[in-house]
Amino acid sequence: MEMDWGMKNRISRIIQPDGRTVMLAVDHGYFLGPTSKLEVPRKTIEPLLPYADSVMLTRGVLRSSIRADTSTPIVLRVSGGTSVIGESLANEGITTPIVEALRLNAAAVALSIFVGTPHERQTLLSLSNMVTEGQSVGMPVLAVTAVGKELEKRDARYLALSCRIAAELGAHVVKTYYCDNFTKVVEGCPVPLVIAGGPKLETEMDAFKMTYSAIHEGAVGVDMGRNIWQNDNPIPMIKAVRSIVHDKATPKEAFDLFKSLKGKKK
Ligand code: 5RP
């Protein structure tokens, strides 16, 4: 189906003309509370906004902590209703209606799906309904293939299944994790894929290598959080990630850039 202008326009604000994107994920508080280094959202987010192609957050942090004259496109998280100390992270519902995303001038909405859990049906139907509503108003939908606390679920077989289901239900962009045999995930998913960074990796080089591999194996970009803003040098970190995503830098070149930017700061 030919996309309407509004839908195309919104997607083009997220995925840049080179077909790539660096999304900044700062929505963690919606189930984790005041996550380390994101305790005061404005302090963490504001300095990074100029280097992000879009920012993914909840309506509460958007209204309380982001200036309304920002030019960074907003990807609004619209699912939630669970917490890290609750019974199941998978038991999510829709927290924010699409009319509010329109009022907030969002460039896209994002929600999680929890395939293989007792709550898969409700989260998959939420995705489907959000796509139906999104299609009628020109709002793209990003589906996050969430794994809850079960980080070991991040293998190609599971992620390929989740990503394909998300695409089949109409997601315009899918966010997943990088894994061994990632090409299997990419091949089975007919819409653009971005990767989350996951928990902070041991070294910067680990994050650069993961970004590089994901891009070279077919992801259009990253929707990265902790590996950027939990680093002691978040601006050099996001700039180095950008160099891989947009400027064809190798992990070594990105690391050299990171080191030189970090040096200049001191
Ligand atoms: C949680 C999310 C987060 O935005 C996602 O995990 C990205 O952040 P990080 O790079 O820190 O993993 O969608 O469900």
Among candidate residues 175, 252, 259, 265, the one labeled active-site is 175
**Phi/psi of residue 75, nearest 5 degrees:** -110, 110
Q: Is 65 left (phi over 0), alpha (psi -120 to 50) or beta?
A: alpha
Beta strands in the chain (DSSP E): 21-25, 54-57, 74-77, 79-80, 93-94, 108-113, 141-145, 173-177, 193-196, 221-224
For residue 12, give every residue at least 6 positions away whose Cβ sits within 8 Å of its Cβ, in sequence order, or none.
none
Q: Which atom of ligand 1 is nearest to the CA of 226?
A: 11
Please indicate whether residue 248 is annotated as part of the active site.
no
- CA 89 – ligand 1 centroid, Å: 14
- Copy the structure tokens of residue 118: 């007792």
Q: Provide mean pLDDT across the span 232-242.
A: 98
**pLDDT per position as a tens digit, 34-53:** 999 999 999 999 999 999 99
Q: What is the pLDDT of residue 197?
A: 96
- CA 41 – ligand 1 centroid, Å: 15
**Phi/psi of residue 251, nearest 5 degrees:** -55, -35
Check pLDDT > 60 for residue 1: no
Q: How confident is the model at residue 7 (pLDDT cuts 50, 70, 90)?
A: very high
Q: Provide mean pLDDT across the span 4-17.
A: 97
Q: Which domains does the chain have, with CATH numbers?
A: 5-198 (3.20.20.70)
Q: What is the pLDDT of residue 212?
A: 98
Q: What is the pLDDT of residue 73?
A: 98
**pLDDT per position as a tens digit, 68-111:** 999 999 999 999 999 999 999 999 999 999 999 999 999 999 99
In this structure, the residue with its CA closest to atom 8 of ligand 1 is 225
pTM metric for this prediction: 0.96
In this structure, the residue with its CA closest to atom 4 of ligand 1 is 25
Q: How confident is the model at residue 148 (pLDDT cuts 50, 70, 90)?
A: confident
In this structure, the residue with its CA closest to atom 1 of ligand 1 is 28
Check pLDDT > 60 for residue 220: yes
Residues with CB under 6 A from ligand 1: 25, 27-28, 56, 112, 144, 146, 196-198, 223-227
**pLDDT per position as a tens digit, 183-214:** 999 999 999 999 999 999 999 999 999 999 99
Nearest C-alpha neighbor of 72 from the set 82, 93, 57, 84: 57
In this structure, the residue with its CA closest to atom 14 of ligand 1 is 146
**Mean pLDDT score across all residues of the chain:** 96
Tell which one of 76, 88, 144, 245 to mutate to probe ligand 1, the residue whose CB is within 8 A of the most ligand atoms: 144
- CA 180 – ligand 1 centroid, Å: 19
Q: Provide mean pLDDT across the span 123-152.
A: 93
Q: What is the pLDDT of residue 147?
A: 86
- CA 225 – ligand 1 centroid, Å: 6
Angle at which helix 204-216 crosses helix 234-247, to 10 degrees, equals 20
Tell which one of 27, 32, 112, 206 to mutate to probe ligand 1, the residue whose CB is within 8 A of the most ligand atoms: 27
Q: Is 51 left (phi over 0), alpha (psi -120 to 50) or beta?
A: alpha
Q: Which atom of ligand 1 is nearest to the CA of 146?
A: 14
- CA 146 – ligand 1 centroid, Å: 9
- Copy the structure tokens of residue 53: 């192609």
For residue 171, give every residue at least 6 positions away whose Cβ sits within 8 Å of its Cβ, in sequence order, or none.
127, 131, 141, 142, 143, 191
Instruction: With beta carbons less than 8 A apart as the criterion, state whether 74 and 105 touch.
Output: yes
Q: What is the pLDDT of residue 266?
A: 58
Nearest C-alpha neighbor of 230 from the set 202, 252, 254: 202
Distance of CA 145 to the CA centre of its chain: 10
- What does the alpha-carbon distance between residue 77 and residue 185 come to, in Å, rounded to a whole number? 23
Q: Provide mean pLDDT across the span 17-21.
A: 98
- CA 198 – ligand 1 centroid, Å: 6
Q: What is the pLDDT of residue 149?
A: 74
Q: What is the pLDDT of residue 96?
A: 98
